[in-house]
């Protein structure tokens, strides 16, 4: 199957969940990873009210930024019962400012315990960046 320029797909993992994610650049990769993780959570969102959440993060390296970004989204999901379906990420080096749009969760069928660093490495490909994320479930 031919890949689009940016996207994600679930790949096989015996105990947990794994996502392959690709995009032209790091901000796009972060957005695709957030979209993929949200799909795994199997969320249904209320039609209203629509909410916007702002997020600011700094990290030591791109992989840590990816883990921290997704971990923040999981924390908001659990603590505030919010789900997000649109993401905008701006980067200044490894300083991230993100806008997340979403709504209260009406049903959620799956839970992710953690975003892991397992063999996490963001690779450069001819089309941009690619990585594989493993989530503990």
Q: Is 5 or 44 the residue whose CB approaches another protein more closely?
A: 44
Q: Considering all CA atoms of the chain, what is the largest pairwise distance in Å, rounded to the nearest integer?
A: 41
Q: Which stretch binds another protein (CB under 8 A): 27-35, 45-53, 86-94, 104-112?
A: 104-112
Do 102 and 35 contact (CB within 8 A), yes or no?
no
**Residue 113 beta carbon to another protein: minimum distance, rounded to whole angstroms:** 5
Q: Which stretch binds another protein (CB under 8 A): 31-39, 48-56, 91-99, 105-113?
A: 105-113
64 binds another protein (CB under 8 A): yes
Q: Which stretch binds another protein (CB under 8 A): 29-37, 71-79, 87-95, 124-132?
A: 71-79
In this chain, which of 20, 27, 68, 132 binds another protein, going by CB under 8 A?
Answer: 68
Which pairs count as long-range contacts for 133-136, CB under 8 Å and 24+ apart, including other chains? 133/18, 133/19, 133/21, 133/33, 133/36, 133/37, 133/66, 133/70, 134/13, 134/16, 134/17, 134/18, 135/16, 135/17, 135/18, 135/19, 135/37, 135/40, 136/16, 136/112
Please give the residue ranges that form the binding site for another protein (CB under 8 A). Answer: 10-17, 42, 60, 63-64, 67-68, 71, 75, 78-79, 81, 108-111, 113-120, 134, 136-137
């Amino acid at each position: 199957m031919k890949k689009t320029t940016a996207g994600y797909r679930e790949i096989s993992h015996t105990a947990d969940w794994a996502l392959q994610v690709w995009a032209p650049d790091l901000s796009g990769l972060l957005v695709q990873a957030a979209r993929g993780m949200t799909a795994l959570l199997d969320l249904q969102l209320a039609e209203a009210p629509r909410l916007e959440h702002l997020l600011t993060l700094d990290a030591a390296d791109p992989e840590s930024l990816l883990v921290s970004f997704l971990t923040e989204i999981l924390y908001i999901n659990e603590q505030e019962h919010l789900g997000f379906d649109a993401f905008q990420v701006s980067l200044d080096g490894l300083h991230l400012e993100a806008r997340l749009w979403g709504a209260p969760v009406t049903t959620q069928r799956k839970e992710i315990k953690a975003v892991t660093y397992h063999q996490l490495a963001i690779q450069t490909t001819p089309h941009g960046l690619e990585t594989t994320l493993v989530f503990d479930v």
